Amino acid sequence: MLSPDLLHVFVYGTLKPGEYFYPRYCEGKVVASVEAIALGTLYDLPMGYPALTPGEDPVYGYVLSFADFGVLAALDELEGYDPDGSPLLNEYERSLTTVYDLNREPLGQAWLYWMATKQAEQLGGTRLAYGRWTGRNLPQKVSQ
């Protein structure tokens, strides 16, 4: 189970350990990291990062746990999410979701950045049927 005293964020793209933005936003701040599954549909976007949309397929990533809840503001900025802004202007939305271990046992709730399916498709996203994304060979595409 996830500790209620920590901030938990499910990451499935450039914030995963070993991926492009992990060193800048997470390294030295993460107090625990566990491989996990969230439910949705995963798309690879042509900009060099993924989008998780509503769905029922397993999407593989990590739950990153932080002692500093202030990290969420930096992640919101990276993900183009303004909690006080219009959902029409946000690149991603953020909500709490149930996450699971790799045996599909519930771990608890974690924050998740997700995108509307229509938006992912309009951006030219390609569905990743196996629910796994890596951009290790694509960091030059990421523009942040």
pLDDT in tens, 26-80: 999 999 999 999 999 999 999 999 999 999 999 999 999 999 999 999 999 999 9
Domains along the sequence of the chain with CATH: 7-124 (3.10.490.10)
Confidence check: pLDDT of 141 > 60: no
Q: What is the pLDDT of residue 88?
A: 84
**H helices within 6-142, ranges in order?**
22-25, 71-78, 117-122
User: Which residues does 76 contact at the CB level (< 8 Å), separation at least 6?
Assistant: 82, 83, 94
pLDDT single digits (tens) 5-18? 999 999 999 999 99
Under the banding of pLDDT at 50, 70 and 90, the label for residue 85 is: confident
Rg of the chain's alpha carbons, rounded to an integer?
Answer: 14
Averaged confidence pLDDT in the chain: 93
Section 76-102 average pLDDT:
95
Separation of alpha carbons 56 and 76, rounded Å: 24
> What is the pTM assigned to this prediction?
0.93
Confidence check: pLDDT of 124 > 70: yes
